[in-house]
Amino acid sequence: MANITVLSPVGEPRAATAANNFDRLVEGIGEALKERLGVARVVHARKANAASPAAPDLIAALAKECDLVFAGSAD
């Protein structure tokens, strides 16, 4: 007689333990730019939410202090 294993599809809620995929990607890009190209500083900024455009003051601040900007979204 064969054994049957019954699995429950019910999960347990848990707190998020990691950043989203874009956070990981941009963090890695920042570290690579520092290590390989001598970039002095990496700035991380966030919009209010993914559905809205960046606020004009955020865009102005990035334009004033950054030579390169990576923008993206992921889950």
Task: Classify residue 5: in a domain, yes or no.
Answer: no
Q: Report if residue 46 sits inside a domain.
A: yes
Residue 15 within any structural domain of the chain: no
Helices (H), the chain: 21-37, 56-65
Q: Which domain, by its residues, includes 51?
A: 21-65
| Predicted TM-score (pTM) of this structure | 0.61
Average pLDDT over residues 58-74: 89
Q: For residue range 24-50, what is the model confidence (pLDDT) as tens digits?
A: 888 999 999 999 999 999 999 988 888
Instruction: Report how far residue 38's alpha carbon sits from residue 29's, in angstroms, rounded to the nearest whole number.
Output: 13
Average pLDDT, the chain: 87
Please indicate, yes or no, if residue 29 is contained in any of the structural domains.
yes
The amino acid sitting at 60 is A
The total number of structural domains in the chain stands at 1
